[in-house]
Amino acid sequence: MSSSSKECGLTIEQLVKQCGYCFDEAGDPIDALPHLLFVAHQWIMESGALLDVFIAHYEKTSDQIVRRSVLYAVAYWIHHFPFHFDAQPELEQRVAFLRSAAIAAGEDEDIT
């Protein structure tokens, strides 16, 4: 039995979207996907590129639930994997951009 990557693979955009479904209303993870994504992403892409996908996902929707899920995911990433952000000013700038966008949109979740 064999399967192609088309049958079992997801794009990074799909993984980011799916990651948003992995948090409850309080922002706590209810699935292992966020942890696995943030542990393994560096095998396939730079942290900045992944953060850019989260930011793009946030920007392209006006759905507050989706936006909140992005903030929860990024906050989880920062809290559980701070070493991904250490001494990387470009990541800090991207997080600051996302934080500013969230404040401008009236989101009250803190992503630090």
pLDDT per residue as tens digits for the range 27-67: 999 999 999 999 999 899 999 999 999 999 999 998 999 99
Distance from C-alpha of 16 to C-alpha of 69, rounded to nearest angstrom = 10
Residue 29 is part of a domain; what is its CATH number?
Answer: 1.20.870.10
Q: Is residue 38 part of a domain?
A: yes
pLDDT for res 29: 95
Instruction: Over range 20-26, report the average pLDDT.
Output: 91
Distance from C-alpha of 30 to C-alpha of 70, rounded to nearest angstrom = 15
10 Å CB burial of residue 58 (0-12, 13-18, 19+) is buried
Q: Is residue 109 part of a domain?
A: no
Distance from C-alpha of 65 to C-alpha of 37, rounded to nearest angstrom = 20
Q: Is residue 111 part of a domain?
A: no
Distance from C-alpha of 2 to C-alpha of 31, rounded to nearest angstrom = 27
Q: Is residue 51 part of a domain?
A: yes
Band of the pLDDT at 4, cuts 50, 70, 90?
Answer: very low
Q: Is residue 89 part of a domain?
A: yes
pLDDT for res 43: 93
How many structural domains comprise the chain?
1
Distance from C-alpha of 18 to C-alpha of 13, rounded to nearest angstrom = 9
Q: Is residue 110 part of a domain?
A: no
Domain of 72 in residue numbering reads as: 5-104
Q: Helix crossing, 12-20 with 64-80: angle to 10°? A: 100
pLDDT, tens digit, for every residue of 61-109? Answer: 989 999 999 999 999 999 999 999 998 899 999 999 999 999 988 876 5
Q: How far is CA 39 from CA 2, 44, 101, in A?
A: 27, 11, 26
pLDDT for res 20: 87
Within 1-112, where are the H helices? Answer: 5-8, 12-20, 33-40, 47-59, 64-80, 89-104
Q: Is residue 112 part of a domain?
A: no
